[in-house]
């Protein structure tokens, strides 16, 4: 077993990401076939949570819980935060409430809230009853916010400082707090938790120990409200090259922060949503377990396409006499229909892309439609 284990450990040192994932999948299947769960446990617990999430998604549904059981609790909790919805729903059906609550204790508050939001209300209440009081209080503060808003992706874990303390005190506090999470910015607040400004970490570390925090504070930082759409938040991150962004309420009280790792997920989710919209579909299909349910979601739009096709057929029927006299025109019908479809794909692709990056706003919709109509008429004419 030792030779096999060392061989597998060396496998992941080289090659690209796809090669790494393919090799991990092949090794996992091999060890499942050999019933060598001890070696498999060692290998799985030496992987990144993102690789484990991809691995679980590629395993048969029956093997997913078996593989997940071999992962240590802290790593398993991080893996749950990375898993895509279909695989996550499979694991949630398998995991007992007490074990699930244990994993949630290891999660970041925003990830824990997202996970609980995927549970039925009765089960969510049962799991929350098993959580520590401070975890329950934190999660309850995040649950009211919609998933696609700034409040839905923020975390309540952040470092806050008072203006009157010294750099030495701040660094000592930071050393104690940094064990819990990554630190991007230090937020300066008053006694009522109103956001006053931020202190860059580099500026803090280079300042003399006796310097007061208010001397280093950068006032009036960028911030967002908890009800701002997550896509708008992502645009702010992109425009200003931020690593984190504070979230404040209407009174300016600091509620939490949004970190760049969550924005990467937002960008991926929004891109997926845009691709679905191009085909008149919904990203909610990812959570649909029933084939009948998927059909019900897609069929109405297909009926719209069918109606358009029948309308085109009716137009051809009107000119059927002309087509009989000029048979050569019939040869161009497939080409005309194909060109129309290609032109439609070009228009939808450009439009959805511009919507995704914020170049098309609600007030400019008419202008965009008019422009595309002119382009279509010129190309068709």
**pLDDT for 316:** 74
What is the per-residue pLDDT across 215-258, written as a single tens digit (0 to 9) for each?
999 999 999 999 999 989 999 998 999 999 999 999 999 999 99
Residue bearing the bigger pLDDT, 188 or 15: 188
Residue bearing the bigger pLDDT, 19 or 67: 67
* Band of pLDDT at residue 14, cut at 50, 70 and 90: very low
> Can you tell me which residue has the tokens 């892309």?
353
pTM: 0.70
Residue pair 234/270 in contact by the 8 Å Cβ criterion: yes
Question: Where do you find CATH 3.10.580.10 in the chain?
Answer: 159-260
* Band of pLDDT at residue 381, cut at 50, 70 and 90: low
Q: For the chain, give the percent of residues with pLDDT over 90.
A: 51
Domain 159-260 superfamily per CATH: CBS-domain (3.10.580.10)
How far apart CA 91 and CA 84 sit, in angstroms, is: 11
* Band of pLDDT at residue 281, cut at 50, 70 and 90: low
What is the per-residue pLDDT across 25-50, written as a single tens digit (0 to 9) for each?
999 999 998 999 999 999 999 999 99
Task: Look at residue 123 and tell me whether its pLDDT is greater than 80.
Answer: yes
**pLDDT for 48:** 92
**pLDDT for 4:** 40
**pLDDT for 7:** 45
Q: What is 2-148's CATH topology?
A: MgtE N-terminal fold (1.25.60)
Question: Where do you find CATH 1.25.60.10 in the chain?
Answer: 2-148
């Amino acid at each position: 077993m030792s030779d096999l284990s060392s061989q597998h450990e060396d496998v992941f040192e080289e090659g690209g990401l796809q090669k790494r994932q393919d090799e991990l999948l092949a090794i996992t299947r091999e060890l499942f076939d050999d019933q060598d769960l001890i070696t498999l446990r060692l290998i799985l617990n030496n992987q990144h949570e993102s690789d484990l999430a991809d691995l679980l998604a590629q395993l048969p549904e029956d093997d997913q819980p078996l593989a997940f059981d071999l992962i240590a609790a802290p790593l398993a909790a991080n893996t749950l935060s990375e898993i895509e919805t279909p695989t996550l729903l499979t694991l949630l059906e398998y995991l007992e409430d007490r074990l699930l609550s244990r994993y949630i204790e290891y999660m970041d508050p925003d990830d824990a809230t997202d996970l609980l939001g995927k549970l039925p209300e009765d089960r969510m209440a049962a799991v929350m009853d098993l959580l520590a009081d401070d975890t329950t209080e934190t999660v309850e503060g995040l649950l009211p916010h919609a998933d696609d808003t700034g409040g839905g992706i923020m975390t309540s874990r952040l470092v806050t400082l008072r203006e009157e303390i010294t750099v030495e005190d701040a660094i000592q506090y930071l050393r104690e707090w940094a064990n819990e999470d990554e630190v991007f910015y230090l937020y300066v607040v008053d006694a009522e938790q109103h956001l006053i400004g931020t202190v860059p970490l580099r500026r803090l570390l280079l300042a003399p120990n006796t310097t007061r925090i208010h001397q280093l504070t950068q006032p009036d930082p960028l911030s967002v409200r908890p009800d701002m759409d997550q896509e708008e938040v992502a645009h702010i991150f992109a425009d200003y090259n931020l690593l984190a962004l504070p979230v404040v309420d209407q009174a300016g009280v600091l509620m939490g922060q949004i970190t760049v790792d969550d924005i990467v997920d937002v960008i991926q989710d929004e891109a997926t949503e845009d691709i679905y919209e191009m085909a008149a579909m919904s990203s909610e299909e990812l959570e649909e377990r029933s084939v009948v349910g998927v059909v019900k979601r897609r069929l109405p739009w297909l009926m719209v396409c069918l109606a358009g096709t029948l309308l085109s057929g009716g137009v051809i029927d009107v000119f059927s006499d002309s087509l009989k006299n000029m048979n050569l025109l019939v040869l161009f019908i497939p080409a005309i229909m194909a060109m129309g479809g290609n032109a439609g794909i070009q228009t939808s692709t450009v439009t959805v892309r511009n919507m995704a990056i914020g170049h098309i706003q609600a007030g400019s919709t008419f202008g965009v439609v008019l422009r595309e109509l002119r382009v279509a008429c010129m190309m068709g004419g």
